[in-house]
Amino acid sequence: MEDRGVLDRQPLPIARGVLRYRNAGEIRGRHDTAYYLFEIYLKYAAAMAMSSYLAADARDHRVNAVLKGLVRPSLGEWMRFLRECAGFLACRETPDPYIRAVAELLDTRQSRWTHVLDLYNALRAERTEKPSERTSVSAAMLLDEVVSYRNRIFGHGALVGEEQYRSFGDRFAAAFLELLEWSPYLRARSLVTFERPEVREGSRVECQVIVYMGLHPIRREEPLTLPYGAPTPREHVLHLLGDDGSRLCIDPFLAARGDDVYVLNDAGGAPEYLSYATGERYRPPTLNDAQRELFERIFGYELAPARLSRLGDDVAAPAAPAVGPEERPRAATLKDYRLVREVGRGAMGTVFEAVQESLGRRVALKLLPGTFALDPKRVERFHREARATARIHHPSIVPVYEVGEAENAHFYAMEYIDGDSLDVVVQRKREEIAQRRGRTASSAGADYIASIVEGFAGLAEGVSRAHALGLIHRDIKPSNIIVDAGGRCVLVDFGLVREQEAASLTQSGEMVGTLLYMSPEQASRRRVDARTDIYSLGASLYEALTLSHPLQGTTEADLQNAILFEDPVPPRRLNHLIAKDLETIVLHALEKNPVKRYASAGEFAGDLRRYLAGEAILVRPQSSAVRMIRLLWRRRGKVAAMLLGALVAGAAVVAWRLWPEGHLTIVDQRRVTSDSGLTTDPAASPDGALFAFASDRAGKGDLDIWIQDAAGTMRRQLTFHEAEDCSPVFSADGSQVFFSSKRSPAGLYSVPAAGGEACALGIQGQDPVLSPDGAWLAYDDYGVWLGGDPSIGRRRIGVCSTATWEPRRVAPDFLAAGRPVWAPDSRRLLFDGYGREAGADREVMDLWVASLDDGTLKRAHLHQFLAEHKLYQPRPVKWESDTLFFCVDQGDSENLWSLRFPCGTLRAEGQPRQLTTGTASGLSVHVGDNGLLLFSSIVKNSDIWSLSIDAHGRTSGESLERITRNLANDDRPWISQDGRTVLFNSPRAGSPDIWSKDLETGALERLTGADGAEIWPQLAWDGAFFVYRSYAAENSGLYLQKRGEKSGRIILDKPLPIWHLSRDGRALLYRSSQVPATLTELIIDTGDTTVLYGHPDLHLYEGHFSPDMQWVTFVAIKTTGGSSVYVAPYRPGTPVEKAEWILIMGGDAGYDKPTWCPDGTGLFVTSDRCGFMCLWRQALDPVRKTPVGDLECVRHFHTAQYSLNAVGAGWLQLSVSPRRLVFNLAELSGNIHQARIRKVR
């Protein structure tokens, strides 16, 4: 790399790092600058990957766990992050090109590397004092040795002698330059900043480009021209610019300053920037938005400007801690925490105010008393409390920073809430009123009431978030609620938290919690669910408002009797300032029958919010007149002021009319259905008098079409077929209901709204959408998104006239198209598509607008616009007037949003606005006329099931058997060959872990529990060990763990998908990180790998060894669409060409999860060939493994209650023993709600 032109093609910090090495004079300087080349190299790669991760607003808990390492000088922290990114890529449906480049970098291994191998062997020999016999190494292996070297030499000064400095310095430089030649990702995108953006003709934007490639920044001659509607990049901020114009902001990890590029670094807890070219450092006097967002995520709180000089300067010196001898750690410190004082003590531990020294922040540190540490049950409960709290992210739930053990003490650190517990606040209020009135406290004022209700509304929303994660607190009471100075209520102490149906440490009959606030079902030792927390919230709110307990009793028996049989005194009798609506809310939460309470904490919070806003509450709707009177009464002082200021009011009216259009909000929400199963796909007739929906309420398990009037007084079943009917939509005159059906022939049907026989329309489609003028019906054509990647799909959309029913395709040349919605003019369709514009050189995923008149297609550029607001993969619902309604899945919930999107300009305007705030995992939405909104909140749960089979894979009768039942998702099951044990992954104890269940005794055992996630278990044939994917905090990768042991050993340093263990336990099939994906064999003892099956036009997945170890079956997905199942010979360590592969099945349907029958004479597969994802079996010739006969259905899953498709391809697993086939099924539930969309200013 002596050629100056080669350096000019590298990013500036790397090019200048090489130049600094060459110019270094003395030997130690050359040694150090050569090492720093690797540090720059890794930090640049990590900055690229992390910027892409943040830009996608990703929330992978394993990556988040190593965020802090990105501002530390430790090279090991950066390697940890790069590995987590590689693992994150393996779990994503759509691989990120930047993160994929990093994953490929770590996996790079070249036989022609001489200097890389020389440095690796020298570092190994220096560390182990033994010669290394490696003949080839990967980049990751070398970088690991560099990390180890850095820790030994720079950290402890272990290397001495001028000759050794000279030797390693030259080796570092030679190996780096060799590695750099095989790192095209560094120069594939230019490092640039933008200046002077100017709007040109046609609303295009032109920017000057400063290129930071090579040794000096250069202004590019031609400006960057951005297309119409594209966002303008930030000035003077570093971006990565691709040849195709794609941009990625890489701020704040890299920053341009003058003619140099600085890298984010840590200086004892303070953020600073370091130039590797000059050694200069500087600290930003203020933070930009990107920096502030990053540091909030890393450090856990907002960095005020005063803290930039030193994060710990503003922490006052603490007083001596008041610690009991049992809990006092030596020298009043524990690990990184300096104890200040004891602030609370309870049954499950002692809480101290402390200072986290490394970050200089106040925390609350909870310690398990020393005597309890000897009780494994209490230790497990203590750690479970910490893990459960850490999973919930909400302002009203105390955030957990760390959990651990040090000096024989178990602890966890959380945010320090500066305030008093609610019981203290209530007692202080009692005393205040008693002193003011000279008698017993009886009531609190209106301001106090409003503050309490506001706090409890946030508290209920936080509890709703916990319930969405399957967590029940079970001990909500005033002493566990902290009220800070701003009135925010924060729930603490999750010591009794329980996951529904978990392998719990608390038996179902054991009564825990504080009796005064227990629900009747909890007090009577019956099974509890999330509604027990709603009762406890109501009891705590009752006491806060009335200053009295809801029930009275002098003994425990009296209290239990009151809880079970007595009603509380109406709150208004104790405090006349409590409004009637507020009293109704509180008493509804305190219903003794949980069925009569609020169905969810979210509904409870919603009613409290509606009360505060003066709107009708859910449990007792009010007329508009009553609502207005009560609103005016609450604001009577303001009303009087308005009457006195008539002139000002008149001016306000003028301003109102001249003010720009307001935003949309949802009001008057109420529940329409209350079914125990799945009720979804709501639709309203044109006049809004009738609602249609799909429901399994008939009890047969399948979805049928139902209809009811808006008042809920009439309900009628319209379809009765055993196949699934869904997605109803009314005709323009309301006389017919169109719907999609899985019956034969599958497709679109029509049924009279008054009842009658359903008729096929002759259209092979689903999810019909009627145009506003009623003349057209759009629909999704049948197809699937294969492999989770829209570029490998077969989805299409069509339209047909409601007069002739003649179908035609829309965007027929697109690789994929779906989810159509009509424009208001009924002549255009908005849809989600993967295609290219005229003149474009590649396909892109975006929302598109198609004209029915001339077939033209226009890209809406909404994906990019919404991504800037951290909203990804929008699902369009309705295009009404100039407003687009769409749904977005944000990880733990899906909600409805709106955006101004005029039909004339096809350009997004303003800000997207969230309309719903639920925690459901799915949403089915209908937006009707006059602001009518119908939606179904869908909840999904996955459990393990089995079918009894014989050696040939045949089943008999109704042999479906449930193995697990839990609110957490149990996935990826694997059964032992003796049929006694099933392994699976589940987050039932917090983070995803590997669990086992004994099918004879029913005993559950948690097999892993590292700091991270362990998923995808595979049990050895003899049951002696199992392998799994681990995203551990220290080392992510593939692990092997012997049965009976508590931890495993790493066998591959990348957590790639595991497909199958060989029968002798010698080899493992896994998916490589190459693109297209290949099937790779790993020899477990030696670590040697061989790509056995691969093809440039096929992605290969789900490889499985045959029982006799002579064959392998796998799925092949074409890069252009379509999937097939193959069987190929297995020759250990030897690649097999495609000419030897045997095609078993393929065609239009999707095929997945091929699994051998016990005797190897057939394959189980999943397929949607019948319109549903079902289980099938294909017989094979015993010798040649060619298909014999037709594909046979093993079990249909045509119901919403039990679904293979809803599990998700990445989490579905088939596994066989001689007598059982095990797999996971998803159960769906949901109900219809009604609301109004109203515009407010």
Residue 187: name the closest of 105, 68, 277, 274 by CA.
Answer: 105
Collapsed DSSP state (helix, strand, coil) of residue 425:
helix
Cα 453 to chain centroid distance, Å, stands at 31
Reduce the DSSP state of residue 132 to 3 states and report it.
coil
Q: What is the mean pLDDT of the chain?
A: 79
How much is the average pLDDT of 738-763? 89
Domain contains 253: no
Same domain assignment for residues 1096 and 1212: yes
Any idea how long the chain is?
1241
Q: What is the pLDDT of residue 541?
A: 96
Q: How far is CA 626 from CA 449, 629, 630, in A?
A: 21, 5, 6
Q: Per mean pLDDT, which range of 9-18, 192-201, 1146-1155 is the poorest? A: 192-201
Residue 1022 lies in a domain: yes
With a cut of 80, say whether residue 377 has pLDDT above it: no
pLDDT of residue 580: 92
- Closest residue by Cα to residue 218 from 278, 158, 183, 259: 259
Order across the sheet with 419-421: list the strands: 419-421, 481-484, 489-491
- Residue 1122 shares a structural domain with residue 1150: yes
Contacts of 439 (CB under 8 A, 6+ apart): none
Question: Residue 1123's pLDDT is what?
Answer: 82
Determine the structural domain holding residue 487 and report its residue range: 420-432+446-499+515-621
- Shared-domain flag, residues 1116 and 1220: yes
CA distance 1039 to 1008: 11
Q: Say which range, 316-330, 343-357, 1037-1051, has the weakest mean pLDDT.
A: 316-330
Residue 472: per-residue pLDDT: 85
Distance CA 856, CA 162 (A): 72
Q: pLDDT tens, 1174-1208?
A: 999 999 999 999 999 999 999 988 776 678 888 87
Of 1179, 1164, 1145, which is closest to residue 1212 (Cα–Cα)? 1164
> If pLDDT is split at 50, 70 and 90, which confidence band does 440 have?
very low
CB-based contact 738:729 (threshold 8 Å): yes
pLDDT of amino acid 59: 56
Higher pLDDT, 107 or 245: 245
At residue 1073's C-alpha, the angle toward residues 242 and 247, to 5°, is 15
**d(C-alpha 591, C-alpha 191), whole Å:** 63
> Is residue 338 domain-shared with residue 455, that is, in the same domain?
no
The pLDDT of residue 188 is 66
Phi first, then psi: give them for residue 137, nearest 5 degrees. -140, 155
DSSP symbol at 233: P
Is the same domain home to 368 and 491?
no
CA distance 163 to 155: 20
Predicted confidence (pLDDT) at residue 641 exceeds the cutoff of 60? no
Q: Which of 3-12, 23-32, 956-965, 1135-1144 has the lowest mean pLDDT?
A: 3-12
Contact 1230, 671 (CB under 8 A): no
Query: What is the percentage of the chain residues whose pLDDT exceeds 70?
Result: 76
Mean pLDDT of 959-967: 83
Confidence of residue 202 (pLDDT cuts 50, 70, 90): low
pLDDT at residue 514, rounded to an integer:
64
pLDDT(308) > 50: no
Q: Is the confidence at residue 314, as pLDDT, over 50?
A: no
Higher pLDDT, residue 1106 or 256? 1106
Domain count, the chain: 4
Which of these three, 621, 656, 684, is where a domain ends? 621
pLDDT tens readout for residues 900-939: 999 889 999 989 998 887 656 677 899 987 789 999 878 7
pLDDT at 652: 39
* Residue at 258: amino acid letter: G
Which range has the worst mean pLDDT, 20-24, 208-212, 342-346?
342-346
* Number of Cβ atoms within 10 Å of the Cβ of 409: 19
Across 863-949, the runs of DSSP E, i.e. the strands, are: 875-880, 883-889, 894-900, 909-914, 922-927, 932-948
CB atoms under 10 Å from CB of 1148, counted, come to 11
Lowest model confidence (mean pLDDT) among 117-126, 353-362, 548-557, 1035-1044: 548-557
Strand ranges (DSSP E) for 570-678? 663-671
pLDDT range class, residue 524, cuts 50, 70, 90: low
**Residue 358: its pLDDT value, please?**
85
Mean pLDDT of the region 729-755? 90
Asked which of 524-538, 686-700, 764-778 is least confident by mean pLDDT, the reply is: 524-538
| H/E element, 112 | none
Q: What is the pLDDT of residue 1121?
A: 54
Q: Which residue carries 């809430």 as its tokens? A: 417
Give the C-alpha separation, 989 to 386, whole Å: 11
Q: What is the secondary structure of 1215-1229 as a DSSP string? A: EE-SSEEEEEEEEEE
Residue 138 confidence (pLDDT) above 70? yes
**Does the pLDDT of residue 54 top 60, yes or no?**
yes
Percent of the chain surpassing pLDDT 90? 30
Q: Is the pLDDT of residue 328 over 70?
A: no
Residue 727 has what pLDDT? 94
What pLDDT, on the 0 to 100 scale, is given for residue 629? 46
Q: Are residues 1013 and 1067 located together in one domain of the fold?
A: yes
* Long-range contacts at 1058-1061 (CB < 8 A, ≥ 24 apart): 1058/1016, 1058/1018, 1058/1027, 1058/1028, 1058/1029, 1059/1101, 1059/1102, 1059/1103, 1059/1104, 1059/1114, 1060/1018, 1060/1103, 1060/1104, 1060/1105, 1061/1018, 1061/1019, 1061/1020, 1061/1021, 1061/1027, 1061/1105
In a shared domain, residues 995 and 1137: yes
Report angle CA 1106, 1112, 1113 to the nearest 5 degrees.
Answer: 100
827 in a structural domain: no
Residues 396 and 426 in one domain: no
**Greatest mean pLDDT among 237-241, 306-310, 407-411:** 237-241
651-710 pLDDT, tens digit each? 334 333 333 456 788 888 788 887 878 899 999 999 888 999 999 888 777 889 999 988
Long-range contacts of 715-723 (CB under 8 A, 24+ apart): 716/755, 718/692, 718/751, 718/752, 718/753, 718/755, 718/758, 719/749, 719/751, 719/758, 721/758, 722/1198, 723/1171, 723/1198
533 against 1118, higher pLDDT: 533
The structure tokens listed for 1051 are: 């066998």
Specify which of 349-363, 561-575, 879-893, 1175-1189 reaches the highest per-range mean pLDDT.
1175-1189
The predicted structure's pLDDT at residue 271? 65
Q: Per-residue confidence at 128, pLDDT binned at 50, 70, 90? A: low
737 located within any domain: no
| Of 41-50, 220-229, 581-590, 654-663, highest mean pLDDT | 581-590
User: Which class for 1240: exposed (0-12), middle (13-18), buried (19 or more C-beta within 10 A)?
Assistant: exposed
Mean pLDDT of 344-356: 77
Domain-terminating residue out of 621, 645, 666: 621
- The Cα–Cα gap between 1157 and 1215 comes to 9
Collapsed DSSP state (helix, strand, coil) of residue 999: coil
Question: What does the alpha-carbon distance between residue 68 and residue 70 come to, in Å, rounded to a whole number?
Answer: 5
480 shares a domain with 383: no
Residue 306, CA distances (Å) to 285, 312, 356, 672, 885 in order = 9, 10, 18, 53, 43
Question: Residue 1082 has what pLDDT?
Answer: 95
Is the pLDDT assigned to residue 1074 strictly greater than 60? yes
Does residue 917 lie in a domain region?
A: no
- Answer yes or no: are the C-beta atoms of 360 and 308 closer than 8 Å: no
The pLDDT, as a whole number, for residue 784 is 38
CATH code: domain of residue 370: 3.30.200.20
The pLDDT score that the predictor gives to residue 665 is 82
Q: Is 649 within a domain?
A: no
Query: Do 379 and 426 fall within a single domain?
Result: no
- The mean-pLDDT minimum among 500-509, 514-523, 1121-1130 falls in 500-509
What is the pLDDT at residue 62?
56
For residue 79, which of 22, 144, 156 has the smallest C-alpha distance? 144
Structure tokens at 615: 């709107």
> Which residue has 């995923």 as its token pair?
845
Which of 153, 186, 219 is where one domain is finished?
Answer: 186
Question: What pLDDT does 20 receive?
Answer: 85
Structure-model confidence comparison of residues 485 and 452, the more confident one: 452
348/598: higher pLDDT: 598
Q: What is the pLDDT of residue 982?
A: 97
Whichever domain contains 457, its CATH number is 1.10.510.10
Mean pLDDT of 113-136: 76
| Helix (H) or strand (E) segment spanning residue 34 | helix 27-55
Say what the pLDDT of residue 129 is: 60
- Per the domain annotation, does 805 fall within a domain? no
Q: How much is the pLDDT for 511?
A: 38
Does 489 lie in the same domain as 411?
no
**Does residue 307 carry a pLDDT above 80?**
no
Cα–Cα distance measured from residue 912 to residue 896, given in angstroms and rounded to the nearest whole number: 10
Do 988 and 1099 fall into the same domain? yes
**Best mean pLDDT range from 162-176, 640-654, 1155-1169:** 1155-1169
Give the active site residues: 475
CA distance 389 to 368: 16
Is there a domain that residue 1236 lies in? Answer: no
Using CB atoms within 10 A of its CB, is residue 774 exposed (0-12), middle (13-18) or buried (19+)? middle
Q: What's the pLDDT tens digit per position in 987-1031?
A: 877 678 899 999 988 888 999 987 678 899 999 999 999 999 987
Cα 1056 from chain centroid (whole Å): 19
Strand order across the beta sheet in which 690-695 lies: 679-684, 690-695, 704-709, 715-717
The predicted-structure confidence for 561-595, as pLDDT tens digits, reads as follows 678 777 899 999 988 899 999 999 999 999 988 87
Residue 393 has pLDDT above 80, yes or no: yes
Local structure of 690: helix, strand or coil: strand
